[in-house]
Structure 1
Amino acid sequence: MCNLRLLKIYSSTGMKTESKVYLSEDLRSLSDKLVYLEWDGFPSTSLPVNFTPENLVELVMPNSRLKQLWNEDQNLDLLKNIDLRNCNHLTKIPELLHAENLTTVNLEGCSSIDELPELPRNIRSLNLSKTSVKHVPSSIGYLSHLEMFDLTDCRDLESLPTSICKLKSLQSLYLSGCSNFTTFPEILEPMERLVELELDRTAIQKLHSSIENLVALETLHLEMCEDLEDLPDSIHNISSLDYVSLWRCSKFKPSPQPCLPPEEPVVYCRPTETQSSSGRILEIRRRSFATRLMGFWDDSHSNAFSPRRRFNYFKRVL
């Protein structure tokens, strides 16, 4: 198998089950000519010691028992995609700074990962959701091509550096479920491509007035931010903003002068006792058929179909 270029072993069910395929003596040395390596539920704690990934373009090994990949001094010039979802035993990713063609890293569910790996400038998609990351270094601003940054359910994360505004290609930032996330950073300069920001189920109390520098923002999710009390008046300066959700923000007390003029975004608030009890979501502004439909959903549907998923669904349908 020394000339093998593609190896794919996967679970047909897509479930997180331990692989029934085990390494034999013949597979102690994987082919150095491998271009594509996919092994769902890889049973060993490391790749073969003598494996050289110099020809590797894609590494896909979700649900594996891996604790480490390879030594730091590897030639990774061709590597474009790393997918190590739900590798719970993986504690560290080797330095990837010189993998200049790498565009996608998916570490979702790698619960033992507690720090960001060093990444090349060309990275476009970085998924660290459900990891134990506590800190995002200020050097994150170096990733000028990053388009999607997912930190969903990183429960040890408390804040982001102000250098986040240097991510000029960023389109989507997901912080949903970061339950210890208390402070969204000041946005010190315009971010002209960020269209979606998810801060639902975080511990934020307020947003800085510099939020207006998110000049392309279209959707802002603040569902179940139980400590959030108000929104800055500057938010109405974001002319592209179409949707703001304040569903179940129990402490939210809008200022006497509405921070959002009536011709601007759809806003959903948790109703107070004095508001109509016909629905659990109060619709302040209705701009489309899709948003009108969302106004009729109540808490009985919340577990199966969250406000964010309803919004995205209706956008696709319409």
Structure 2
Amino acid sequence: MPNLKLLKVDGGLDTLKIDVEPSHQKCFRYLVWVSWIKFPFDYIPKNFEMGNLAILDMPMSNLKEVWKGTKCLEKLKELSLINSIYLTCTPDFSMLPNLEKLILSGCISLVEVHESIGRLQKLVKLDLSRCHGLKNLPINGKSKLASLETLDITHCQELNKLPKQMRDLISSNGLCSLKEVFLEGCSLTNDDIPDEFWMLYSLESLNLSWNYFESLPSGIG
């Protein structure tokens, strides 16, 4: 299958094991879309060719890390690892310049987001909802997230403060496209939100449910 472009695997059985042998490498060379439910490995094997991938979707995977080292995936636009409960860290994003969607919802063991996330100039959607162990979101005034439209950190209880660096990012117009922010159930108080946050004039939808706010600023309307 040298021209295979779409690979869909439903690992409905926990015992499913599919060996990615070096002899199969040519089969993966032209893959554009991989959808693999319950991917059985701790990380994506080195010989799994991904150079042409646009979408990598691996819900409920066994991944502990996405891949070893740094990958140059210039065509990758969407990385989705929903409910990959063993994942502890994200990959280095330095060589994923065209990534538009990063969806890590339900990755409850995730504790670290690589600092290179701030270089994703084309990122439109960042979903870290229900990443209960996440303590830090490494974005700052030098981050280049001007394309970001949706930020979802719902039920990230350990992320109990929006990063102080976000103040600089907003002031430098680094979140000028942000339209939707979901902060439900993050144990936030008034002091956790920098004043600059309320200056996001592009914002259209804001969810602050299940937090500990005593009041909202008069300028929110």
Q: TM-score range by the shorter chain?
A: 0.7 to 0.9
Q: 1:19: how far off? A: 4.5
Correspondence for 1:192 among 195, 201, 219:
201
Normalized against structure 2, the TM-score is what? 0.82
Where do residues 118-267 of structure 1 align in structure 2 (5 Å cutoff)?
118-119=116-117, 120-131=120-131, 132-139=133-140, 141-160=143-162, 161=164, 162-163=167-168, 165=170, 166-179=174-187, 181-182=188-189, 183-187=192-196, 190-204=199-213, 228=214, 230-235=215-220, 238=221
Gaps of 5+ in 1: 12-16, 205-227, 239-318
Q: Aligned in 2, Cα 1:78/1:41: closer, same or farther, shift over 3 Å?
A: same
Whole-angstrom distance in 2 between the partners of 1:32 and 1:69: 18
CA offset digits 1:125-163 (Å, max 9, x no partner): 000011122122342752110000000000101111323
CA offset digits 1:158-188 (Å, max 9, x no partner): 1113235231100011010112x23111117
Whole-angstrom distance in 1 between the partners of 2:95 and 2:176: 22
Q: Aligned in 2, Cα 1:49/1:138: closer, same or farther, shift over 3 Å?
A: closer
CA offset digits 1:55-107 (Å, max 9, x no partner): 11110000010112223332210000011001011111211133121100000
Report sequence identity in percent.
32
Is 1:76 aligned to 2:77, yes or no? no
Whole-angstrom distance in 2 between the partners of 1:23 and 1:124: 33
Cα pair 1:29 1:48 within 8 Å, conserved = no
Letter in 1 for 2:168: S
Q: Aligned in 2, Cα 1:41/1:192: closer, same or farther, shift over 3 Å?
A: same
Normalized against structure 1, the TM-score is what? 0.59
SS in structure 1 opposite 2:196? coil
CA offset digits 1:176-207 (Å, max 9, x no partner): 0112x231111178322101111111133xxx
Whole-angstrom distance in 1 between the partners of 2:183 and 2:59: 22
Whole-angstrom distance in 2 between the partners of 1:200 and 1:70: 35
Which structure is larger by alpha-carbon Rg, 1 or 2? 1
Q: Aligned in 2, Cα 1:44/1:27: closer, same or farther, shift over 3 Å?
A: farther
Is 1:101 aligned to 2:103, yes or no? no
Partner of 2:7 in structure 1? 7
Gaps of 5+ in 2: none
Whole-angstrom distance in 1 between the partners of 2:113 and 2:19: 34
Q: Aligned in 2, Cα 1:21/1:187: closer, same or farther, shift over 3 Å?
A: same
More relative contact order, 1 or 2 (CA 8 Å, 6+ apart): 2
Whole-angstrom distance in 2 between the partners of 1:56 and 1:35: 4
